[in-house]
Chains A and B, each alone.
Chain A
Amino acid sequence: MAVTTAKPSTALGAEAQQILARPPRGLWADAWIRLRRNKASMASLIFIIALALTAIFAPLIAPHNPLAQDTTNSFRQAAWVQTGGKDTGTWVYPLGTDNLGRDVFSRLIYGARVSLTVGLVPMFIVVTVGMFFGLVAGYTGGMTDNLIMRVIDILIAFPDLLLFILATATLRDTPLGRTWNGLLLLFLVLSLLGWTGVARLVRGQVLSLKEKEFVEAARSIGAPTWRILFTHLTPNVISPIIIAAAFAVPGYIITEAILGYLGLGVRPAVNLDAPFPTSWGSMINEGNSAISNQPAMLAAPAFAVALVFMAFTFLGDGLRDALDPRMKQ
């Protein structure tokens, strides 16, 4: 796709000459340049990368072991809360401690691991699978469309949160539910239904796009179906998909938080060097029951979930503006 579409005019100014002389850039290179200009998106991208690094290098960053208990030191307030009593805040525990005297800040850092993986892994599965089926169903129509849509209808008719709760509650104590502390079950359950939404969105767009002239033109010059699907239709459905994906990641993080809140998230770890000891959802659950004793226990993970959500939203916004050729000035 040509991106440098400077309109030919009778008298080209020096600036226009320069644009025309510019080497052609692809869709993605051009998008990257536009994305870099968006401050909120770049800040979000840096934040997400920093958070990912924090999650990976958690053992080096966390001041305490997230599971080390110190019951004589429980319910210590956040560092800036000075009660003057035994629970007064200290910078040794920046966000205070929980009911078992575990450092909330360290738990928050380790919790990022679960939340990021639970957000990203199902997103990739869901977008790939959903886009493929959406394109195929919308474009080919007929029996294929009917078959795909019936499967989607069946899956979509299952109220998602209900299935998540049902599946995680029932399969929790089976071998599948124990794998990777319950993470595998979360991945599977979260991506089982999510792709249907993407597929429907893509199909809806394709249904009206395929009546447009550029598809007809491509077909009339004999372009094979796969090329129409992947080079003509895909770039045109990419913007709603990116919005959907940008929402999907924090959506999964929030779903994990809801499951954690109901006590159905990752399994609590007892082993001191467990790689995924806790999640923000489980922390919200614990924080909710300790709301009057230690407010930071609820506020910290809730704030973290909100912040990650915002970062992905801003990034998605920026990607959308950058990738949509029609938005170009």
Chain B
Amino acid sequence: MLQFIIRRMLWMIPTLFILAWITFALMHAAPGGPWDTDPSRKQLDPRTEQQLNRRFGLDKPEYFNPNGDPSRPWTYLDSQFFNYIFKALQGDLGASFRRRGQDVQEIIGRGLPYSARLGLIAFAWSTVLGLALGVMAALNQNTYIDYISGFLATFLRSVPSFVLGIYLIIIFATWLKLVPVIQDNWGGITPYILPSIALGAPTMAFVMRLTRGSMLEVIRQDYIRTARAKGLGDRAVIMGHMLRNALIPVVTILGPAFVALVTGSFIIENLFAIPGIGRLFVEAIGQRDYPMIMGTTLFYAVLVAIANLAVDVTYAFIDPRIRLS
């Protein structure tokens, strides 16, 4: 098991490298550069632009430096991409182009508490409620409990989260005036209630449906009949026999669900004006702030990779037939 985890951690290195490369290539494929300003406003004069490029290393070639020194082969990699990679390996994600004098890791570190709180609250309520409702619906198949939770799931899944968010703001902020339309204090838990409902609703519905479907398959298995036949109580059958087997497909989607919550959060962060990482990312793309785009993407990618590793480990833990090797 430990060996498996270590090997997967090592695999993250090429993964992140390729991700960094794709992001880098996409950014540079886009027309326009970081110093472009609104065409209607005063333009940067070429001398300043040259200085800025030199300062941020943008005067270097993108991947391969033909002017390298043969006696010191690494100088061939003195390029924008590899300089970034080497610095990132040392934990330096570079300085933001647009936020003067601020390092990317600083900016991410500042946004993280907000994003993490939003994501974790949404993840917690959506999975717990989704599992509970899914099990309940399956155990009461074709009763009104099943129909009501089925309707709820369909409804919550079918409304895009940002549309749900817009209507939540209209209902709870504009009409009922229970919360301010524009939050300026994002400490504590209460300001996150509406955003996390909007963010977690589709995940809740998905977890619920999957749990229900998977439970219904398990309920019909022979080993459930055996368990009942040998006189086990409802509790033991449901917890020990049904859930353990029904959870396998559910656990596989918890990783992607977590990822969906983390990445989906920047739509919600934009909508509710939460000062998290997601908002920074959308801003950075518009501004062609290369280090910010790279930094946030890599940060999200690490998060996703860890989430997926956690899923695989849990997976083997629940289903002993699956051997990690």
Chain A residues near B (Cβ < 8 Å): 150, 153-154, 156-162, 165-167, 169-171, 173-174, 197, 200-201, 204-205, 207-208, 211, 239-240, 243, 247, 250, 254, 257-258, 261-262, 284, 288, 291, 298, 302, 305-307, 309-310, 313-314, 320, 324, 326-327
B113 at the interface (CB under 8 A from A): no
Extra contacts besides A162-B266, A261-B267 (20): CB < 8 Å: A150-B11, A153-B15, A154-B18, A156-B304, A161-B260, A165-B281, A166-B23, A166-B26, A169-B285, A169-B286, A173-B30, A173-B31, A204-B252, A207-B322, A258-B160, A261-B160, A306-B155, A309-B158, A313-B158, A327-B216
In the docked arrangement, what's the CA distance between A327 and B315, Å? Answer: 25
Q: Which of B1-44 contact A (CB under 8 A)?
A: 11-12, 14-16, 18-19, 22-23, 26-27, 29-31
- Residue from B14, B15, B256, B319 in contact with A197 in the complex, judged by beta carbons closer than 8 Å: B256
B274 within 8 Å of A by Cβ? no
Q: Is the CB of B29 within 8 A of A208?
A: no
In the assembled complex, which residues on chain B have CB atoms less than 8 Å from the CB atom of A262?
267, 282
Question: Which of A160, A200, A313 contacts B263, CB < 8 Å?
Answer: A160
Choice from B26, B263, B319 contacting A171 with Cβ under 8 Å? B26
Q: Verify B26–A167 contact, CB threshold 8 A.
A: yes
Q: Tell me whether A159 and B300 are in contact (CB under 8 A).
A: yes
B30 close to A211 (CB less than 8 A): no
CB of B75 within 8 A of chain A? Answer: no
Within B277-297, the residues touching A (CB, 8 Å) are 281-282, 285-286, 293, 297
Q: Is B162 an interface residue (CB 8 A)?
A: yes
Within 8 A of A (CB), among B180-237: 206, 209-210, 213, 216-217, 220
Q: Which residue of A lies closest to B302 (CB)?
A: A157
**What B residues does A154 contact at CB under 8 A?**
14-15, 18-19
Q: Which A residues touch B18, using CB under 8 A?
A: 154
Interface contacts (Cβ under 8 Å), in number, total: 142
Q: Is the CB–CB distance between B297 and A166 below 8 Å?
A: yes
Determine which of B16, B267, B315 lies in contact with A258 in the assembled complex, contact meaning CB atoms within 8 Å: B267
Asked if B259 is an interface residue, CB under 8 A from chain A, the answer is: yes
Q: Give 22 pairs: A residue, B residue, CB < 8 Å, sorted on A.
A: A150-B11, A158-B19, A159-B301, A160-B259, A169-B286, A170-B27, A170-B285, A171-B26, A200-B252, A240-B249, A243-B210, A247-B157, A250-B157, A261-B160, A262-B267, A284-B163, A288-B166, A298-B163, A305-B158, A309-B158, A326-B220, A327-B216
Q: Judging by beta carbons under 8 Å apart, are A254 and B160 in contact?
A: yes
Give complex CA distance A291, B157 in Å. Answer: 23
Contacts of B53 in A (CB 8 A): none
Binary contact readout B303-323 vs A (1 if CB under 8 angstroms, 0 otherwise): 111001000000100010110
**Pair B26/A158 contact, Cβ less than 8 Å:** no
Q: In the bound complex, do residue A162 and residue B263 qualify as a contact, i.e. CB atoms below 8 Å apart? A: yes
B249: which A residues are within 8 A, CB to CB? 201, 204-205, 240
Contact of A157 among B157, B213, B304 (CB under 8 A): B304
Contact, CB under 8 Å: A158 / B160: no
Question: B267 — which chain A residues lie within 8 A by C-beta?
Answer: 161, 258, 261-262
Most B C-beta atoms less than 10 A away, residue of A158, A173, A200: A158
Chain B residues near A204 (CB-CB < 8 A): 248-249, 252, 315
Task: Say yes or no: B319 contacts A157, CB within 8 Å.
Answer: no
A243 to B15, CA, bound (A): 29
Chain A residues within 8 Å of B262, by CB: 159
B199 to chain A, nearest CB (A): 12
Report the minimum CB–CB distance from A59 to chain B (whole Å): 28
Measured in the bound complex, the distance between the Cα atoms of B154 and A118 in whole Å is 21
List chain B residues, Cβ under 8 A from A170.
26-27, 29-30, 285
Docked Cα-Cα span, A103 to B20, in Å, equals 45
B38 to chain A, nearest CB (A): 17
When the two chains form their complex, are residues A174 and B206 in contact, meaning their CB atoms are under 8 A apart? Answer: no
List the B side residues contacting A261 at CB < 8 Å.
160, 162, 267
Partner of B285 from the list A165, A250, A254 (CB cut-off 8 Å) is A165
> Which of A162, A306, A327 is B281 in contact with, Cβ under 8 Å?
A162
A237 to B217, CA, bound (A): 12
Q: Which of A207, A211, A291, A307 contacts B166 (CB 8 A)?
A: A291
